[in-house]
């Protein structure tokens, strides 16, 4: 099998959906970070970051998230240090401290409310 090419627009081709225990809380968390609410229904919300989408579907019976994130969503921003300050201001649980990485990014990873982390990153100028 091959990729589907232009079967659907790039913004619909690959979307992450996270199962959440409390939709209101998770919406607040992601919106505070800068995600925009584009659609909300009973038990479901669609968020966007530029042309990318993030779906949240509520399952109140979900167990508590594991102590360590099971995955992360990377968001590229031109000003990672501002997001680092926001994460600290929010009292977010930091999974990986901010730093310049060998792979050409300055980044950090914060735990999300439902077992999926968010990694904000900026390109290092010397790469």
Q: By residue range, what is the domain housing residue 109? A: 64-127
Average pLDDT (10-34) is 91
Determine what percent of the chain is predicted with pLDDT higher than 90. 79
Burial class (CB in 10 A: 0-12, 13-18, 19+), 30: buried
For residue 18, CA distances in Å to 33, 81, 122 come to: 16, 26, 24
Which one is predicted more confidently, 28 or 14? 28
Look at residue 46 and tell me whether its pLDDT is greater than 90. yes
Question: Within this chain, do residues 82 and 94 fall inside the same structural domain, yes or no?
Answer: yes
Average pLDDT (91-118) is 96
Look at residue 1 and tell me whether its pLDDT is greater than 70. no
Residue 38 lies in a domain: yes
| Count of the separate structural domains present in the chain | 2
């Amino acid at each position: 099998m091959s990729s589907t090419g232009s079967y659907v627009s790039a913004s619909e081709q690959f979307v992450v959906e996270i199962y959440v225990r409390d939709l209101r809380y998770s919406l607040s968390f992601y919106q505070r970070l800068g995600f925009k609410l584009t659609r909300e229904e009973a038990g479901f919300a669609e968020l966007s970051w530029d042309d990318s989408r993030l779906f949240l579907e509520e399952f109140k019976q979900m167990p508590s998230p594991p102590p360590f994130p099971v995955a992360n969503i990377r968001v590229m921003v031109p000003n990672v240090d501002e997001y680092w300050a926001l994460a600290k201001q929010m009292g977010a649980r930091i999974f990986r401290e901010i730093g310049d990485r060998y792979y050409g990014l300055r980044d950090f990873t914060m735990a999300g409310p439902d077992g999926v982390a968010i990694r904000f990153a900026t390109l290092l100028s010397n790469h």
